[in-house]
Structure 1
């Protein structure tokens, strides 16, 4: 299999019309992690003496079994939760080389681009705070992703929707995003490719792997570089990525894997905040799509270094042991220009300057040790996993301000980039806090009958936070045990009914009116559905109904002048909905991924909540290989969402709301692959040139998405 989207593997056709899948309203369901003792953390495993290894090569839009959701190596049909995958083939087909664009294509996921360098993600109505690398991770400090995440070093991205307290312990009952790194290959192979596109975009990728002098030691090196302007005035991003990984057979049953990556992002004139979306008279502003509030001196640079090591050992009794370690150092440095206020429609006055300089660092570590294997009980064989994990993270950050905060801006002064750079020497504020999580977990898949499996498990975690964040104490300690139970009943050769319940929690440090921290957020996910798998598991579908609850979520209620701090109160919220998916490969011709989600979000009074989250979304992508022209493939994608809105308050105190009507974004692609190893792919994005605001997550501000664009990628595999 080649490193960058190998040709689709041939598959025997079976007589099962796709129309039946659609008629059954099934949707795709793909497992999470990968691999031969996936519990051993091995991707694309290599056969060792006396060690059972499963060849989980990912080709097309299907995915191998995974253990990220339960700790047990299960197929999509065996997993009693909604799961999806963005495979390397899908990422390459549609030119999805950064995280935001990729998750835009994932069913049920909302990508809230509040600025050019910061993004929130949502699923089932709530924020996603858990991001994992090969199944390990700690929650984002503020639930927001800083900087562009390049995908060159990843084999695929896995999405588990709902609560993941069993393996993550803490977070929201929304979804978990798991990045599966590329691993060394048994044979020497490689690929290089170059991309050019709209707004002077230029990109280079290289990927090579194979034995390092001996078959017992293998390595892989991935590098990427990108530079280009944007549809936004003055904004430019330069980024580079280097990733190296090696594994070694320490014996016939033991393997050591270690790797390190470094990504640097240098952004010129990035958005901090965005455009005002309405005038003082409540009319929408409607600026040009290229309009930006950033100054020409502004910048936002990030440096993200990650290292990991994994030791896997297979015992002779079918049990295996995996010990894994992840480390991250992320540094940020910026000088930014924020604009606030509400402009007058005729004069353009009413906007004010808020420049600031910022520096921050995050240091995170995560250790996980787990054992997995069979249990004999009642004359049947069951599967179990037991483990422990330790995670800690420290955040340090400081912001500097000048004496010019609040300076009125003249007509057009917010958008021309000419605001003079101030001296950031007036005052400063910042954060210095630590997070620590210790957890024990266990899970058993009970083989109660040939057609019925019951999964029961629990995670016991202690979470501590200490320090301050911009003047607010962050001291808290929470201990919780979160359960998971799931059942799968095979009702026919290709169909299964399933149901599951999972819990999760997250500590919070917001203060109530008395000055005490709010109690921990309690989350849960209850879902049930029907799954199907055909073509030897290469095509999967599912239909699910779900109910997600999140209790005691902090809600801002005002500012206490006497204490000089914000005041919060706990609020309960719930979402209910339906998800339909279908994904995988149909013979040698079609690869597809499609998902439809319909949900409702209510607060504890039964009123609509979080209206910036679309209630209905559709994500679909398909590629067909043309038999008449060997090597030719053509495809398209569509991303549709319903109306969204957000309440705001006008300068005179009158309530209002900003809206984004329903829209669809259509993409087209065509690729041609020669037997000599050359490949060319043309992508056309936003074909209809649809104008829309990227997000209403931040009330009263937003910016416009890119207009129609084109990119061409030329690659060579060897």
Structure 2
């Protein structure tokens, strides 16, 4: 099952720390001595993504992975992709053309829902990496979860939760970082009570800002990101609070890197290492993103057993692309550059969610309820312009040229399509304590989706001037949790989901959805969560099977037609654990294996429908593992190492082209200057491994080489 000796060594080093609820993410001990180390594996801390009832991971009959602020800081995660790549079974990359690409449990892109503070934007391109500085925690639930978060999420749901004002009187956090390729960060966060007498404070404000800049490990590639988060917490009455949250992110990237052409004639992808850092994009290639969030959160405690929360939110984003995106070698060793593309996304989402929580008794048994209504309206306008222009350049010396000189795409933006999706939903969740040890968790959600698409381009039978689709999916979960002992439990669950047969809600075309129903997904999962060795260790394990049915495939008789007949099955196991080996040595590890394959899938090849039955989906690694070791040398000094293994992946549906597996190693040393100040030096990709974070067609999206960084952290 494991096909690489480096993975065997990686996991064998930590056999004492096996298992994860398919991943309750292992909270690392903070080494700077400024915070108390967390106990256990966060099995007994409330989570938001696996349930609406405020249950702990131990109480939830599902695989739930959590990385809180302590984990993010201990591992020096730069952005949200760093955070989720440390979670069990997740493999993510940030290729500009694929936004926040994620693969999990055998599924990719829109089949894994990425939420922001529990809000679903319905579009994977809206999930580009977020600066880790503004994140409070990230949570992951494995498998179908439409019953919690709406249409989508057959593979799982990832929830990025940002920092909010707290009732702390005054805190200050700051970070300065500098590393290879001029990678730098300046960040600070302030939490302040708004009162001359702190004891009388009723209003609390928080401000976080971060600026990241880097010249990039690829030639002529420069990126800058500004992130700002502001929130105001107000105690309006003893039982009524309001939180106003505003967040802004701006990304600018010059001459974005779209990948490296692979050497031809090989089934295993390989690049010319002498041209490892070459950028074949035009000199004025560009990617820009501006994102604005506004949330108004009202919490009302009606009684000790009943509470109501209302969240009103607005999202506004604009994304711009102008690039030359495809590269391949010619027979004489030159590089063919093609696929010029100009694009703008204008996306707005307005929504409101009201939720009632109530604890009572049902049939004399302890019972917890969550009932709610969800409404959102999303509008996205797209301005794509592509061209057939191409050129051939000598890779040893060439003029990258200008996008403005490429005919067919240099005339400016042209509006092509507008998608409007209105979603109305009602949901309910219940936990019933059947016996002292056995609990039943059930959930049900009904969605009413109304999609209207306006085509401003050429009208054809497959691209009408306007069309409307409506769906009414019903999804749910039923699960049992049994406490073997106070520190060990087992669970079993069945859950379902519904998602589009192709594309996403925010960008679906008539060809994507046609007259199709939504695709259906279902999962069976069993697992266990437990502490061991008198609390020195904790672990979780999960086994699952997911079947996704009725997604869009080519007709086996007429490849010019699309029918709804596809099916994919994913089976896997996920393990994670944490062990305080000695008072000074902490070990953490996670591992996931997935067997994902198409049961039915046809692809058009040169006008002929070809079956891909039995093939694996692209960019899905069968094995993914992580390992961390941290050793406290003295009260002020600590050191550590980490390793990450990602199995080989296929780059095409025919499974004839494969990107090789890779193992990355890292190391750090941390020194506490005083009770407020910590200095950390870190090396990433210690062996300077050449590897593909993502593979597609004839291109190899290379990961970062060996890098060094130094960071100064302040906390008052």
Interval containing the TM-score (normalised by the shorter chain): 0.7 to 0.9
CA drift of 1:359 comes to 2.0
Q: How does 1:702-713 map to 2 (within 5 A)?
A: 702-713=700-711
CA drift of 1:400 comes to 3.6
- Aligned-residue RMSD, C-alpha: 3.3
Aligned counterpart in structure 1 of residue 140 of structure 2, from 155, 159, 166: 159
CA drift of 1:132 comes to 1.9
1:305–1:330 CA contact under 8 A, matched in 2: yes
Query: Deviation digits for residues 234-291 of structure 1, max 9, x if unmatched?
Result: 11001111110110111111110111011111100013x4333242687856233212
Quote the residue 1:523 is aligned against.
Answer: 521
Alpha-carbon distance change, 90 to 514 in structure 1, aligned in 2, over 3 angstroms: closer
Cα separation, 1, equivalents of 2:656 and 2:372: 49
Residue aligned with 1:703, SS: strand
Cα separation, 2, equivalents of 1:29 and 1:602: 20
Structure 1 unaligned regions, length at least 5? 1-18, 33-55, 649-654
Quote the residue 1:389 is aligned against.
Answer: 374
Quote the residue 1:250 is aligned against.
Answer: 236
Quote the residue 1:574 is aligned against.
Answer: 569
2:501–2:513 CA contact under 8 A, matched in 1: no
1:60–1:87 CA contact under 8 A, matched in 2: no
- Which one has the bigger helix percentage? 2
Aligned counterpart in structure 2 of residue 188 of structure 1, from 170, 179, 184: 170
Quote the residue 1:619 is aligned against.
Answer: 626
Query: Deviation digits for residues 405-438 of structure 1, max 9, x if unmatched?
Result: 3233233399752356326129946321111211
1:398 aligns with 2:391: no
Cα separation, 2, equivalents of 1:302 and 1:70: 32
1:616–1:641 CA contact under 8 A, matched in 2: yes
1:631 aligns with 2:618: no
Alpha-carbon distance change, 281 to 381 in structure 1, aligned in 2, over 3 angstroms: closer
Alpha-carbon distance change, 359 to 390 in structure 1, aligned in 2, over 3 angstroms: same
Quote the residue 1:410 is aligned against.
Answer: 393
Quote the residue 2:31 is aligned against.
Answer: none
Q: How does 1:78-227 map to 2 (within 5 A)?
A: 78-115=59-96, 118-129=99-110, 130-140=113-123, 143-145=124-126, 147-185=128-166, 186-213=168-195, 214-227=200-213
Q: How does 1:262-411 map to 2 (within 5 A)?
A: 262-271=248-257, 273-279=258-264, 286-287=271-272, 288-340=275-327, 342-348=328-334, 351-401=336-386, 405-411=388-394
Quote the residue 1:44 is aligned against.
Answer: none
Cα separation, 1, equivalents of 2:659 and 2:185: 33
CA drift of 1:570 comes to 3.3
Cα separation, 1, equivalents of 2:536 and 2:515: 49
1:172–1:523 CA contact under 8 A, matched in 2: no
Q: How does 1:493-512 map to 2 (within 5 A)?
A: 493-508=486-501
1:641 aligns with 2:640: no
CA drift of 1:541 comes to 1.6
Quote the residue 1:551 is aligned against.
Answer: 549
Quote the residue 1:46 is aligned against.
Answer: none
Query: Aligned pairs, how many?
Result: 660
Quote the residue 2:531 is aligned against.
Answer: 533
Alpha-carbon distance change, 220 to 122 in structure 1, aligned in 2, over 3 angstroms: same
Structure 2 unaligned regions, length at least 5? 1-11, 26-34, 503-507, 601-612
Cα separation, 2, equivalents of 1:613 and 1:520: 23
Query: Deviation digits for residues 40-86 of structure 1, max 9, x if unmatched?
Result: xxxxxxxxxxxxxxxx9995885421232221111111111111112
2:494–2:523 CA contact under 8 A, matched in 1: yes
CA drift of 1:393 comes to 1.0
Quote the residue 1:490 is aligned against.
Answer: 483
Alpha-carbon distance change, 348 to 361 in structure 1, aligned in 2, over 3 angstroms: same
Cα separation, 2, equivalents of 1:105 and 1:111: 10
Cα separation, 1, equivalents of 2:296 and 2:536: 31
Cα separation, 2, equivalents of 1:586 and 1:243: 39
Alpha-carbon distance change, 397 to 516 in structure 1, aligned in 2, over 3 angstroms: closer
Q: How does 1:32-43 map to 2 (within 5 A)?
A: none
1:229 aligns with 2:215: yes
Alpha-carbon distance change, 92 to 61 in structure 1, aligned in 2, over 3 angstroms: farther
Alpha-carbon distance change, 356 to 60 in structure 1, aligned in 2, over 3 angstroms: farther
1:610 aligns with 2:593: no
Residue aligned with 1:608, SS: coil
Alpha-carbon distance change, 91 to 566 in structure 1, aligned in 2, over 3 angstroms: farther
Cα separation, 2, equivalents of 1:513 and 1:174: 23
